Amino acid sequence: MSACVVGHITVRDAEKWAQYRAQVPATLAPWNAELLFRGQLTAALDGGHRHTDLVIIRFPDRAAVDAWYASPAYQALIPLRNEAADMDLLVFTD
């Protein structure tokens, strides 16, 4: 069963966010994760949404998500991420 990490993001510091984004792909590679989508909100057709950006990353399974998130490589990036943006990071499985 595959799993997707969905990040709802509001960038507060574009320079730090760019540094963070540049380093994330290397943390995904060991877990066979694939970046599916990265974009900005252009409209809310119904209801509201507090974030401006979105990222979706697919992993082979939930165990790979947990291993990636707990990995020293990704954990080292979390302080930079927190300085750069407000983020809700969610996991969905099929």
Instruction: Indicate the pTM of the whole model.
Output: 0.94
pLDDT digits (tens, 9 = 90+) for 71-87: 999 999 999 999 999 99
pLDDT digits (tens, 9 = 90+) for 36-69: 999 999 999 999 999 999 999 999 999 999 999 9
Distances (CA, A) of 71 to 14, 27, 65, 68, 75: 25, 8, 10, 5, 6
Domain ranges for the chain: 10-37
| Beta carbons within 10 angstroms of residue 17's beta carbon | 18
Question: Two tokens at 72?
Answer: 């020293």
